[in-house]
Amino acid sequence: MNEAQTACSPFNEDHQSFRQTCRRFVSEKITPRIDEWEANKGYDRSIFPEMGAMGLLGIPYPEEYGGSELDFWYSVVWMEELARCGAAGFPMSTMVHSYMASPPIERFGTQELKDRFMPQIVAGEKITALAISEPGAGSDVAGIRTTAVRDGDHYIVNGSKTFITNGTEADLLTLAVKTDPSQTHSGVSALVFETDTPGFSIGRKLEKLGCHSSDTAELAFDNCRVPVKNLLGKEGEGFYIIMDNFQQERLVGAISAVAGAELIFAKTLEYARSRKAFGKPIGHFQVQRHRFAEIATRIEAARQMAYHATRVFVSGQNAVREISMAKLFCCETGTWVADQCVQTYGGWGYMEEYPAARALRDTRLLTIGGGTSEIMREILSRMVFDGKEYLLPEEGSSTPDTSGPTVSEIFGSLPKRFRSEKAGDLQEVFRFDISGSGGGTWTVQVKEGEMHVREGAHEDPGCSVQTDVDTYVAVETGQIKPQDAFMAGRITVDNIPAMMALSGSLSRLS
């Protein structure tokens, strides 16, 4: 880096000194083994405790679990350096462990669960996997069919998962299940699943196009008993937990994509300096030189986008827009760069002797895993065209319509829409604070199979809801899904199960 670049870099001296550690660790402990892991279609799990001992698996986690609790830029450094091992598969497995599968345990697990598992996760003694996708549901998370039926203080889990990274090695799964198959989003729950549970089996290790140094498996669950205390969050909150996790997961995807592109580009430049055709190094032909200028420019654009998304994410603001854009652009750039590099290598680009072939097949995953490019475009099109600010991934939601009922008309409609047969044994007082013009405070009480609605604050609520007029109307008229508004921070609810039971008991506003 020259001086100007150093001055504009998001990394301080501590990040850079950590980078030196990462670089050496990768070049001494991982790079020499990566070809073997690629050939074996999986890594040697002894590398996990080695990474753990170096503190590389606990960067964001609290010290009480053996972590370092450092800002996300340290994680960025680690991702960038890990990419230099020369394959994308093993880094993906590591990222799944640290940034996709274990964060829900740390964020939503009970203290007991965290005390039990987090130290082993941070030390690399237990490997984790995130098990959401199923043969019949990938992009459509709410469409999963694996069930968890309550039996005393256990759930009985039945079903199957597929495409699960670390599937054959994992000791723990962060597992998405349906606790209420009659519901879509609100029927999803998340469990910590120990893979030594009787009834669990690894269906098969999947043969893939690339990312060979990472194992990917089909998993089967046959009457597996999971303690209820392994639940993450509350029953029915699984969808939110998964959505919450997606932002970080996608950011990791974007950063890794840029790091991988940079690496194969550097190797390609080296090759173009030494390979001769017609008496000259091929890098002297203008078409090649201009290709390099184009690649360098797009990589730089992608990097700045990933760093910008990181900045917004680190600041704690809603980063859905920036992260979705970065995931889309960086991952598409990553696959494009690998393709261009193969072209510069010519025939050797197609051969295993040179790194371009591996880069091409490894990067093909980028626009599919962790939310496809189509899904990113879906999210973004709703933001840029429909003017929705914070929507999270959801297929096929309709365009909003701006003329709608007033807030007081909606509250007036509630008792008529209440279906006591759908309310189960719900007995609760709800307080709604709706801000903005036309808003106000309402108290909704469900008692002995009846609903009473009054304007103002009355009985002590067991569930408080805060939102604004636009959001409330949009949710009630079906323009925004409640889970999206909730995830976007536009509605806050302190008793989610009660709120869900209430929503489930209301017929649609006509």
Residues that bind ligand FAD (CB under 6 A): 96, 129-133, 138-139, 163-165, 208, 211, 216, 365, 368-369, 372, 374-375, 378, 395
The rounded radius of gyration (Å) of the Cα atoms in the chain is 25
Q: Work out which of 37, 48, 61, 74 binds another protein, going by CB under 8 A.
A: 74
70 is a contact residue toward another protein (CB under 8 A): yes
Q: Nearest approach, Cβ of 393 to ligand FAD (angstroms)?
A: 8
Contact partner, 59, from another protein, ligand FAD, none, Cβ < 5-8 Å per class: another protein
Q: Nearest approach, Cβ of 131 to ligand FAD (angstroms)?
A: 6
SS3 237: coil
Q: In this complex, which beta carbon is closest to another protein, that of residue 81 or of residue 215?
A: 81
Which helix (H) or strand (E) covers residue 247, if one does? helix 238-274
Cβ count within 10 A of residue 53: 12
Q: Work out which of 10, 31, 62, 68 binds another protein, going by CB under 8 A.
A: 68
Which helix (H) or strand (E) covers residue 49, if one does? helix 47-53
53 is a contact residue toward another protein (CB under 8 A): yes
Q: Nearest approach, Cβ of 118 to another protein (angstroms)?
A: 15
239 is a contact residue toward another protein (CB under 8 A): no
6 is a contact residue toward another protein (CB under 8 A): no
9 is a contact residue toward another protein (CB under 8 A): no
Q: Nearest approach, Cβ of 281 to ligand FAD (angstroms)?
A: 37
- Only one residue has tokens 């190094």, namely 281
Q: Work out which of 25, 73, 240, 271 binds another protein, going by CB under 8 A.
A: 25
Nearest to 213 by CA among 46, 26, 362: 362
Catalytic residue among 81, 235, 249, 262: 249
Phi-psi region of 438 (alpha: psi -120 to 50; beta: other; left: phi over 0): left
Burial class (CB in 10 A: 0-12, 13-18, 19+), 297: exposed
Amino acid code (one letter) for 329: F
Q: In this complex, which beta carbon is closest to another protein, that of residue 70 or of residue 469?
A: 70
Contact partner, 165, from another protein, ligand FAD, none, Cβ < 5-8 Å per class: ligand FAD
- CB-CB contact of 126 with 172 (8 Å): yes
Q: Nearest approach, Cβ of 24 to another protein (angstroms)?
A: 6
Distance CA 430, CA 427 (A): 10
Residues 202-237: b if buried by 16+ CB within 10 A, e if exposed: beeeeebebbbbbbbbbbbbeebebeeebbbbbbbb
Q: Work out which of 56, 82, 118, 220 binds another protein, going by CB under 8 A.
A: 56
Q: Nearest approach, Cβ of 428 to ligand FAD (angstroms)?
A: 34
| Known catalytic membership, residue 249 | yes
Q: In this complex, which beta carbon is closest to another protein, that of residue 10 or of residue 436?
A: 10
Q: Which stretch binds another protein (CB under 8 A): 53-61, 279-287, 321-329, 476-484?
A: 53-61
- CB-CB contact of 232 with 191 (8 Å): yes
276 is a contact residue toward another protein (CB under 8 A): no
- The alpha carbon of 386 is separated from its chain's Cα centroid by a whole number of angstroms, namely 24
Burial class (CB in 10 A: 0-12, 13-18, 19+), 121: buried
Binding residues (CB under 8 A) for another protein: these are: 13-14, 17-18, 20-21, 24-25, 28, 53-56, 58-59, 63, 68, 70, 74
The residues annotated with a catalytic role in the active site are 249
